[in-house]
Amino acid sequence: MSVKIILTEPNKLLRLVSEPVEKVDKEYRRLMDDMIETMYAAPGIGLAAIQIGVPKRIIVMDISRDENKKEPMYFVNPVVNKKNSEKAIYEEGCLSVPDQFAEIARPSKCEVEYLDYNGKKQLLKAEGLLATCIQHEMDHLEGILFIDYLSKLKKSIIIKKLSKAKTNRIVV
Ligand code: ZN
């Protein structure tokens, strides 16, 4: 397993629509291992493959927020079957949009069909933080970031800040 570099906005790769996984094999399991390690190291509670530059429909998450009791979740080719019309608001952040947060409204419940780490079909009935998190991550698979839900002005201020932060960044 190894920790990968997380891409940050603005980066064109983050805007790609990810491709479905044909078969969950050893190589994809290795990718999921790298993703979960990268997510824990960040630290974050969710990561999509495209955030480390791989345009495949794979997500890892752990919303347990407990160092001692890790509960990693793996989603391959996730599809939303149902979602609630009722919305829930969370203050969201994103490993690809560092240090920026905004309140985003999303369906409060959803049902997601996916393949797990072993390629087995699963159904997740999510609500609360889990529902928000999986929807945030699934947006990444479509090249969508949470800042896309903000007004044009707010979004451009954030992107400007991030671009500036990048220009001033040095590694010595
Ligand atoms: Zn994100």
Residue 120 CA to ligand 1 centre (angstroms): 25
Residue 130 CA to ligand 1 centre (angstroms): 14
Retrieve residue 126's tokens. Answer: 């999510």
* Contact (Cβ atoms closer than 8 angstroms) between residue 84 and residue 107: yes
C-alpha–C-alpha distance, residues 156 and 158, integer Å:
5
Residue 150 CA to ligand 1 centre (angstroms): 15
Global pTM reads 0.94
Residue 131 has pLDDT above 80, yes or no: yes
Residue 134 has pLDDT above 90, yes or no: yes
pLDDT for res 72 = 97
Could you list the active site residues? 137
Retrieve residue 1's tokens. Answer: 């397993």
pLDDT for res 58 = 98
Range 111-119 average pLDDT: 98
Range 88-98 average pLDDT: 97
pLDDT for res 82 = 93
